[in-house]
């Protein structure tokens, strides 16, 4: 079966596809070679660029339904294939480990993250909270095949010398070991980390004074590519953006660009995005959507609350557009050097949009208020700390339900674009609605690059085998699906799913669920609005058995009673804050004790000296 492709056209009257046509035309223009562009002295194998966005929701790209501008990512979309049924993990590290290795998260060490793992699971098999040494990365595979390998940006897969990118196959890397950091300065997320753990080639690194995260990670990658150009080898460029992770921050001009938007609130935006996604062919027309129970009622917010909410979404849009502009700068550079046509581009997000509201508790508000300027006018700027919260996160996932951390489609389904502009064998402008998974990226890239996999053994030792499947049959139009009816399991922080064909069995813990298993047809009902468990008892039972087999084979542990990822993150942050304050208090108390001790010692010394002097005086007088 061929890949489903929507042909973009504009009817004579005002039509619903006008915006689609504009995007398509812009994409074609962007994809066209520039006049005078030098002929590429291309290596035999293609270059590979991975563009990993952080916390972008399903419709956070123009070609997937976003209202903010992402023309450069859209150009790649129309030069390649958009995957509308692509799934990752519900949070960043597990996705990143699967993207690097093609191995499911419980087998690559990321059964949970350090920030969200309960104490009961620490040290258990598969719960290393770092990428283990039983897996082989895409960088190791490509490097062995003659590639030069580079990484910039967020890593979050381990911070000791044996787990940094340089130890996992990357020739050069400027990386952040933490979940996130400030976008304007070398500053951690206050309360979560003591420092912003940036390193270059394994050594502590200092950011430039004019640092902005998206600009920096692209420029550093361009530098790496050009510094190694003379050897003539193809390159792997893994660019891992901080956008749009908390704290949401963007240049003033990018925030100002959206000054007229978002005043109608998240419910209106969610509906508008669902309509655009359907018009673009990303989801079926008229798919039902639900309101998340954690979404606040926009009409009940007071004027100040609305003003702050509008401003943070403007900053979020500006942050995305700033990142897209840097993608365009990279593409323009590759066109100028003649590399563009022989480059495979992969764009994806690591999970759905971030719903966490850091200001939900008085403790957090007081702490963050001491660290940042939290005024509405400063939202999104240098020195700010802001997050879009569950209302806007729900809109960013539209028309899906849920968001980051959960096993809902809004948490697991994200945009994926794969393009190889110079390869005529790959379809351009198509949309695939076949099930795809983040573990599929490694076998896809190795097949396209003509690089052998490892088959479960690497450099004389046994390693975890790749579990993903190559998406090349979809990219070439030979197949609509590579997974068919094979079961595909998933679990993170107690939220779990089992995919099989068009169906999904899913369980979510609070606050996005009640712990009960439900069954959905996610092709016809991607918003997960109609539970089919009672209507299809045999399928429900068979898929539940499939999940239990997956959980047993992967060593999945049950979560402690009352656990939620949100609360665990807050607990982690509170412990970090408490540890930091105790150290500061200890230093303060220690200083006071030292000072008092010195004063006492000085007083005693002077008192002893006076006694000696008095004794001498008494002897003279006698």
Q: Is 578 inside a domain boundary?
A: no
Q: Is 288 inside a domain boundary?
A: no
- Long-range contacts, stretch 546-549, CB < 8 angstroms, 24+ apart: 546/487, 546/489, 546/498, 546/500, 546/505, 547/487, 547/489, 547/496, 547/497, 547/498, 547/505, 549/487
Distances (CA, A) of 8 to 18, 247, 377, 520, 566: 9, 37, 41, 30, 42
Query: Which residue of the set 106, 121, 156, 483 is catalytic?
Result: 156
Q: The tokens of 306 are what?
A: 């609305």
Q: Which residues, in sequence order, are CB contacts of 529 under 8 Å at separation 6+?
A: 288, 289, 290, 401
- Angle of helix 565-621 relative to helix 362-371, nearest 10 degrees, comes to 60
Query: Residue 18 pLDDT > 50, yes or no?
Result: no
Q: Is 269 inside a domain boundary?
A: no
Q: Is 292 inside a domain boundary?
A: no
Predicted local distance difference test score (pLDDT) of residue 619:
47
Across 10-14, 62-66, 97-101, least confident range: 10-14
pLDDT digits (tens, 9 = 90+) for 185-239: 999 999 899 999 999 999 999 999 999 999 999 999 999 999 999 999 999 999 9
The DSSP code sequence of 287-313 is: ------TTS--GGGS-HHHHHHHHHHH
CATH of the domain at 52: 3.40.720.10
Q: Is 505 inside a domain boundary?
A: no
Selected residue with higher pLDDT from 461 and 583? 461
Q: Is 192 inside a domain boundary?
A: yes
Q: The tokens of 423 are what?
A: 């390869």
Q: Number of folded domains in the chain?
A: 1
Domain that holds residue 432: 18-30+48-260+298-387+412-483
Query: Which residue of the set 47, 87, 92, 483 is catalytic?
Result: 92
Q: Is 352 inside a domain boundary?
A: yes
92 in active site: yes
pLDDT digits (tens, 9 = 90+) for 484-513: 999 999 999 999 999 999 999 999 999 889
Predicted local distance difference test score (pLDDT) of residue 448:
98
Would you place residue 577 in the very low, low, confident or very high pLDDT band (cuts 50, 70, 90)? low
Burial status of residue 533 (CB atoms within 10 A of its CB: 0-12, 13-18, 19 or more): middle
Q: Is 124 inside a domain boundary?
A: yes
* Whole-number Å distance between alpha carbons of 376 and 382: 13
* pLDDT > 90: percent of the chain: 81
Q: The tokens of 519 are what?
A: 């069954």
Query: Residue 596 pLDDT > 90, yes or no?
Result: no
Burial status of residue 511 (CB atoms within 10 A of its CB: 0-12, 13-18, 19 or more): middle
Predicted local distance difference test score (pLDDT) of residue 579:
53
């Amino acid at each position: 079966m061929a890949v489903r492709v929507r042909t973009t056209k504009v009817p004579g009257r005002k039509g619903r596809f006008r915006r689609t046509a504009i995007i398509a035309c812009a994409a074609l223009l962007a994809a066209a070679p520039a006049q005078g562009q030098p002929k590429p002295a291309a290596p035999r194998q293609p270059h590979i660029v991975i563009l990993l966005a952080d916390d972008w929701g399903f419709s956070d790209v123009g070609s997937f339904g976003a209202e903010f501008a992402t023309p450069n990512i859209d150009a790649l979309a129309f030069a390649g294939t958009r995957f509308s049924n692509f799934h990752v993990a519900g949070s960043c590290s597990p996705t990143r480990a699967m993207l690097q290795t093609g191995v499911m998260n419980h087998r690559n060490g990321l059964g949970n993250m350090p920030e969200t793992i309960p104490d009961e699971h620490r040290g258990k098999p598969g719960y290393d909270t770092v990428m283990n040494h039983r897996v082989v990365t895409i960088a190791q595979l490509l490097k062995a095949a003659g590639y030069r390998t580079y990484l910039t940006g967020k890593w979050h897969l381990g911070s000791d010398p044996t787990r940094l990118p340089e130890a996992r196959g990357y020739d050069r890397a400027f990386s952040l070991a933490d979940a996130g950091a400030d976008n304007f300065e070398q500053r951690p997320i206050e309360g979560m980390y003591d420092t912003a753990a940036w390193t270059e080639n394994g050594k502590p690194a200092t950011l430039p004074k004019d640092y902005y995260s998206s600009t920096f990670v692209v420029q550093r990658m361009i530098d790496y590519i050009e510094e190694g150009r003379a050897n003539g080898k193809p390159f792997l460029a893994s660019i891992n953006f901080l956008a749009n992770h908390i704290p949401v921050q963007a240049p003033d001009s990018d925030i100002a660009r959206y000054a007229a938007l978002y005043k109608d609130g998240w419910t209106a935006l969610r509906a508008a995005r669902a309509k655009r996604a359907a018009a673009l062919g990303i989801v079926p027309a008229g798919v039902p959507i639900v309101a998340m129970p954690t979404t606040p009622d926009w009409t009940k917010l007071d004027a100040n609350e609305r003003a702050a909410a509008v401003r943070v979404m403007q900053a979020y849009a500006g942050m995305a557009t700033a990142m897209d502009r840097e993608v365009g700068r990279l593409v323009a550079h590759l066109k100028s050097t003649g590399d563009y046509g022989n480059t495979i581009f992969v764009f994806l997000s690591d999970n759905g949009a971030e719903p966490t509201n850091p200001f939900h508790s008085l403790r957090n508000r007081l702490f963050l208020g001491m660290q940042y300027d939290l005024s509405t006018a400063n939202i999104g700027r240098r020195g700010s700390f802001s997050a879009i919260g569950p209302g806007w996160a729900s809109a960013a996932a539209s028309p899906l339900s849920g968001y980051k951390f959960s096993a809902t489609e809004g948490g697991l389904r994200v945009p994926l674009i794969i393009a190889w502009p110079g390869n005529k064998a790959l379809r351009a402008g198509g949309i695939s609605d076949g099930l795809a998974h983040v573990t599929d990226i490694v076998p896809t890239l190795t097949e396209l690059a003509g690089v052998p996999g490892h088959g479960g053994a690497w450099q004389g030792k046994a390693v975890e085998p790749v579990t993903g499947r190559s998406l090349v049959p979809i990219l070439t139009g030979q197949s609509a699906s590579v997974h068919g009816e094979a079961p595909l399991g998933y679990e993170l922080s107690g939220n779990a799913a089992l995919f099989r064909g068009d169906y999904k069995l899913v369980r979510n813990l609070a606050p996005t669920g009640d712990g009960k298993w439900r069954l959905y047809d996610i092709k016809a009902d991607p918003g997960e609005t109609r539970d089919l468990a009672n209507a299809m008892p045999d399928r429900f039972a068979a898929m539940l058995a499939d999940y239990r087999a997956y959980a047993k084979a992967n060593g999945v542990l049950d979560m402690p009673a009352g656990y939620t990822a949100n609360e665990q993150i807050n607990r982690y942050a509170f412990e970090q804050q408490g540890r930091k304050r105790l150290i500061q208090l200890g230093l303060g108390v220690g200083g006071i004790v030292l000072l008092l001790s010195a004063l006492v010692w000085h007083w005693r010394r002077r008192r002893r000296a006076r006694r000696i002097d008095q004794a001498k005086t008494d002897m003279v007088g006698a």
